[in-house]
Amino acid sequence: MFIDIAKINIKAGNGGNGAVTFRREKYVAAGGPNGGDGGKGGDIVFVVDNNLSTLADFRYKRKYKAENGADGSKNHCYGKSGEDLIIKVPRGTIIREVESGAILRDMSDDEPFIAARGGKGGWGNSHFASSTRQAPRFAKLGAPGEEWDISLELKLIADVGIIGFPNVGKSTLISVVSEAKPIIADYHFTTITPVLGVIRMGIDSSFVMADIPGLIEGAGDGVGLGHQFLRHIERCRMLVHIVDVAGSEGRDPFDDYRIINEELEKFNPDLATRPVIVAGNKIDLATDEQRESFRKFIEDQGLSYFEICAPIVEGTKELINAVAKMLATLPPVVVYEDEGVPLEFLEKKKDDGFKVTVEDDVYIIEAEWLLKILNQCNIDDYASLKYFQRVLDQSGILAELRKMGIGEGDTVSIYDFEFEYVE
C-alpha cells in the first residue's frame, strides 16, 4: 500500500538533573559545593533518505522518543547527553504541527531538521555558590524535552506531472522516455503508486517526470484515491495532460479533458493555471476526423498539442523536447517556507499550570507549556521580550511571585533562562 500521510508523536529527551554534592576530602576544611550539571536530552532529528518513497514505516509506529540526559554527579561531573533520535523520511516530506497546521519544515533538501529539541541539563549546586551563599543545598531539575504531535505529508518533487484518466497511456509514456519501469497492463488502476522517471536531455541537462495515478471523476472531492495522489501534482512546475484521442474505451476525449481539469481546480485552483502541454495518445486507433477535431479543440484554447503513440515511441521525442523547452522558462520546483508554531497558538493552548519554589532567594518556575513559548521567543528582541512578560502576567505567575515575597533584584529562574526581577 502506498502511504503518503501519517501522524506521529515525537518527544525529545529530558535534560538530566543537576547534583547537590559537596567536596569531602580528608584534611580539607569547609569543602564547597561540587555538584555537576545534568546532561542534555537527545533531539528528534529528521533527515532525507533517497531510498524511501513512501511513509509506510510510520503506519504502525506512532510514538518516537529520544534518550534522556543523565543526572550530574559529584566532583563537577557532568551527566552524559542523551542520544539524538534520527528519523528518516522520503525527499519531499512536509512536516506540520497537527493542531496549528503550521509547516515546520519541507524536507526537500539534504539539511537535517531538529523537530523537537532535547531539554537542557539542570545546573548542579556549584553554579549557585556565591560570597553570600557558600553552601547551596539545591540544584536545578533538567528541562523537559519538546513534545509535538506532527503530521508527515509526502508531496513528490517532480518538474513535470503526467495527468489523465486511467489507461490512457501515462505509464507507457514514462517508460519509453525514461528509465522508470512501471507496471503496465490493459486494465484500470494498474499503477497504484506515483512513478518518477528522470528524463536526460544531455550530459548536464535532465528533469524529473511523475506519472500520477488515480485521477477519475470526483477525485477533487476525494473520490477513490483522489486527494491521496492529487497532492503530488502541487509541486510540479508544469503538467502533461494525456488524452485517449480515439476514445478506445467508449469515453469521449473532450469530456475526459474537461473532467480532469475540473478535478484539478476543485482540489487546488492554482493547479488549473499551471502550464500544460496536451498529448493526444492512441492515434493509431483514432480516425483522421477524431484526430483533427481534437487538435482544433486544444489549439483553439491556445495550448500546445502533440500527437503520440507511446508504445511505438511515435511523437514522444517531439513532446519531450517541447516539455524541456517550456521548463527552461519556468521557476524552480515549489519549496514550502518554514512557518513555525505561532506564539499566539501556544499561548491559547497553555493550561496555566505552574509551580514556583524558592531556594536561597532564587525563585524557580516550572511549567512545561511556558517552556514551549520561551523556546519560540527571541529574548534579545524587545518586542518578543515584552510578549513573554505579558504571558507571565496573564498566566498569574507574576502575581504568585509577588505573593511569595519576591523583591527587587531577586533572581527568577525558568529552566535555563534567568533574569533579575524588576518592579
CATH number at residue 15: 2.70.210.12
Tell me which residues of the chain have a pLDDT lower than 50.
1, 185, 187-191, 216-227
Q: 164 with 178, same domain? A: yes
Q: 412 with 320, same domain? A: no
CA angle at residue 83 from 80 to 89, to 5 degrees?
165
* pLDDT given for residue 315 in this prediction: 94
Query: Is the distance from CB of 124 to CB of 15 less than 8 angstroms?
Result: no
Q: 238 with 116, same domain? A: no
What range does the domain containing 185 cover? 160-327
Q: Which of 206, 211, 248 is nearest to 232 (CA)?
A: 211
Q: 103 with 224, same domain? A: no
From residue 305, give the alpha-carbon distance in Å to each of 192, 242, 277, 283, 292: 27, 10, 6, 13, 11
Q: For the domain that residue 406 is a member of, what is the CATH number?
A: 3.30.300.350
**Which residues neighbour 41 within 8 Å (Cβ) at sequence distance 6 or greater?**
12, 13, 14, 15, 16, 66, 67, 68, 69, 81, 82, 118, 119, 120, 121, 142, 143, 145
Q: 151 with 186, same domain? A: no
Q: Which amino acid is at 388?
A: F
* pLDDT given for residue 146 in this prediction: 92
Q: Which amino acid is at 329?
A: T
Q: 4 with 146, same domain? A: yes
Q: 73 with 143, same domain? A: yes
Q: 168 with 106, same domain? A: no
Q: Could you read off the pLDDT of 342-384 as tens digits, one per residue? A: 887 887 777 768 888 888 778 888 888 888 888 888 878 888 8
User: Is position 151 within any domain?
Assistant: yes
* pLDDT given for residue 190 in this prediction: 46
* pLDDT given for residue 219 in this prediction: 39
Angle at which helices 288-299 and 253-267 cross, to 10°: 30
Pick from 327, 354, 373: which residue ends a domain? 327
Q: For the domain that residue 256 is a member of, what is the CATH number?
A: 3.40.50.300
* pLDDT given for residue 265 in this prediction: 85
Q: 184 with 310, same domain? A: yes
Q: 146 with 6, same domain? A: yes
Model pTM? 0.77
User: Is position 332 within any domain?
Assistant: no
* pLDDT given for residue 228 in this prediction: 59
Domain count, the chain: 3
Pick from 282, 316, 341: which residue ends a domain? 341
Q: Residue 131's CB: how many other CB atoms inside 10 A?
A: 5
* pLDDT given for residue 1 in this prediction: 42
Q: 195 with 88, same domain? A: no
Phi, psi of 202 (to 5 degrees): 175, -170
